[in-house]
Each structure stands twice: as structure tokens, then as C-alpha cells.
Structure 1
Amino acid sequence: MTFFSRYARTAALLISCFFVWACENDIKDVNNFTKRQTGVEEATDVTSFMSQEGIIKAKLRAPFMLRHQADTRNQADTPYVEFPRSVHVDFFDDSTKVKSTVDALYARYKEAENKVLLRDSVVVINLEKGDTLRTSELWWDQEKEQFYTDKPVRIYQIDKTIFGKGLKAAQDFSNYEIFNITGTVLTTGNQLDSL
């Protein structure tokens, strides 16, 4: 029995050494494992409704959406939703009739600020008046229900086109203020079809 127990002890010692050696951790591996990575959720063919007091105010559609979670270890990091392949928004009046639309090739919704950055070929159309805004970048403040930008803008109306830099407008584009008008071109007939 002593012969067997000596081999058993030796085998147990070797197995223990193997497990201790196999369980050695590199500090980089430990840090990478414990580091909280920001999660990203994906969605396709997105349709979302925004309402106030039970009344639908807007309908958002996008072919692709990314929702970025905040890194809990970084207090400056805030969650946001990204629409990298275009976004379309219909704004409704109180009788749920589409009053205006917004289109952009890219959008980023900052949840903490309740603001949306619209970029790349931004177009806002007021369907009642026929006015059309075109710009490269536009902010949409959902709490104030308004758009604003400091970038160059073009506003196409039935009888003229206004060029300027910087703008503040109601989110239904019913009224707006251009901060620095750089030019106005009078038009005849409906030339918007060629745009």
C-alpha cells in the first residue's frame, strides 16, 4: 500500500502543479476580461413613433439603426442611437396629417440631450407651403421642437430661392429665421421639380 500511496501522492502533486501552471493569468488578459465593453444593438427596417400627450407627432423610418450603450466606467460616455444609412421623419399636425418631412443620409440621436444631429444631404419640406430647406448639417432639438444650424442653407420657395448661413426653424418648418442671408434668386414657375 505504501508503494501505491507514494505514486498516488506523486500523481496528485504533478496534477496540482499542472493546474496551478495552467491557471496562470496574464495581467493584460485579466484587464481585458474585466473591462466593460460598450454594447451595440442593431436593428433593420426601423419604424418608430413619437407622441406627446397621446397624440402622434412624428414617425421615423430608417433601414438600419445602431444603439450604442454607455460605458458604465466612463461618466462622460452617454448612450446614443445612430442611423448610418439614412433616416426619414414625417411630422404630423393634431389631426395626424403629414405637415412636413425630413430626410438625411446620416443621423445621430443623443438620448441625454434629446437632440438629433442630421448630416449629409439634409432636406426639410413643409408640405403645406411647399418650402424646402437643403443643408449639409442640421440639429433637431426635440424638447424645443425646432431645427438649427450654423452651416450654409438654401431655402426653395415657390417664387424664390434664399441662400444663407445659419438658421433656426420650427420643426414643422412653418416659420424660420436665416441668420446671415447671402443672396436671393427670384424664380418663375415651378423650378423645384428640377432640383
Structure 2
Amino acid sequence: MFIRNNRISILALAFLAVAGVFASCENDINEVKELGKKKTGVEEGYKIESFLSQDGKMKARLTAPVMLRYLRDTARIVFPNTMHVDFYSDSLKIENTLFARYGTYLENDNKVLLQDSVIVINVKGDTLRTEELWWDQNRQLFYTDKPAYIRQPEQKFDGMYGMQADQSFKKWTLFQASGSLKVADSSMAVP
């Protein structure tokens, strides 16, 4: 009789334990919804130094304090806290320097959108300032449709509808341009 009561007690205890487990299971609806959402993959990097080469030649060196790489349909790399790029000639001399407070590299398009206080300086000291600038790496071209300002040691030019320049920033064109140009003295007499 003792054995029979012991078995009943064990069965009752097991039943109560299982019932207690099921009764205590409760899911917060918000937690369940969060589990079903797809998480965006983001890679983070700090104190970034990256080198760009084309046809086996080093073309640029990029430095940035923070880099975020988003792994979605449109793969992109974001530099949210400034970026600095030195562009090199074939003889590895710096041709120009670029600075921006914010940059986005569109990996599939091989283009960079630079924003917020964009500055490009070439070896001659020509300085471009604009709020937005595209850099097309395939075409080795800078361009914008936003106002662009170029300053040279003794001249200044403003392009109210943007500009276009080669990657070396040696040849550039301003759209709807105005500015001051220093003209050499002329030996022609003024009537």
C-alpha cells in the first residue's frame, strides 16, 4: 500500500510540475514581434585607413574615425564622422586632398556621395568648397549640381549651378559661373 501511495504521489507531483511549467509560460507580444523582424546587418570599423588602387596602381588613401558598412540590397559604406582622402599621381605624389564631414560609398555603383563642408585642394592650391559632391570612381570625375566655390591664390570663382572636375582636380568647369579674374597688365593704351 505504501508503494502504491508513493507512485500516486510521484505521478501527482510530476503532473503538478508539468502544469506549473505550462502555466508559467507567457510571451510578451512585443518580444515575439521583434523575433520575427529581419535584422539589418551592419559592420562597424574604427580608426579606418583604406587604400584604393586601379590597374595595380595606388590612387588614393582614405582615413576616417568611423565606418559603417550596411549589408542590404543596396550595399553601402557610411563615414558619419568625417573622412579624409589623399589622391596620388602615378609617381605616388599627392595630387589633391579631399575632406568631408559625411560620406556614403555606394558599392554597386562605385560612387561616393560627399556631404557637409566638402573641401578639395589640389597641388596648385586651388580650393573647392561645396555642400555636396559626387565622386564617380569609374569615370574618375567629381561633380555636383549644388553651388560650388573655387578659390585660387589671387582669383575666385563661383558656380551657382554646380561644377565638374577630373579626379586630379586639374581641369574643372563651373556652371553659371561668376568671379574675379586677375588680368596681366596690357601694353594697349586705353582711349
Same fold, judged at TM 0.5 (above):
yes
Matched, 1:7 2:2: no
1:107 alignment partner in structure 2: 103
CA distance in 2, matches of 1:134, 1:52: 26
Matched, 1:91 2:91: no
User: What percentage of aligned pairs have identical amino acids?
Assistant: 46
Gap runs ≥5 in structure 2: 184-191
Q: Aligned partner of 2:181: which letter?
A: L
CA distance in 1, matches of 2:98, 2:39: 34
TM-score by length of 1: 0.84
Q: Aligned partner of 1:151: which letter?
A: K
Larger radius of gyration: 2
Task: For residue 169 of structure 1, report the CA deviation from its aligned partner.
Answer: 1.2
C-alpha contact 1:50 1:57 (8 A) present in aligned 2:
yes
The aligned length equals 180
Task: For residue 187 of structure 1, report the CA deviation from its aligned partner.
Answer: 5.7
C-alpha distance after superposition, 1:138-161 (max 9, x if no partner): 111111111111111111123310
TM-score by length of 2: 0.86
C-alpha contact 1:118 1:138 (8 A) present in aligned 2:
yes
Task: For residue 64 of structure 1, report the CA deviation from its aligned partner.
Answer: 1.8
**Aligned counterpart in structure 1 of residue 145 of structure 2, from 136, 143, 150:** 150
Q: Partner of 2:38: helix, strand, or coil?
A: coil
Instruction: After the TM superposition, list the runs of 4 or more consecutive aligned residues in structure 1 that deviate by more than 4 angstroms.
Output: none
Gap runs ≥5 in structure 1: 71-76, 189-195
CA distance in 2, matches of 1:141, 1:170: 10
Task: For residue 18 of structure 1, report the CA deviation from its aligned partner.
Answer: 2.2
Q: Partner of 1:151: helix, strand, or coil?
A: coil
1:192 alignment partner in structure 2: none
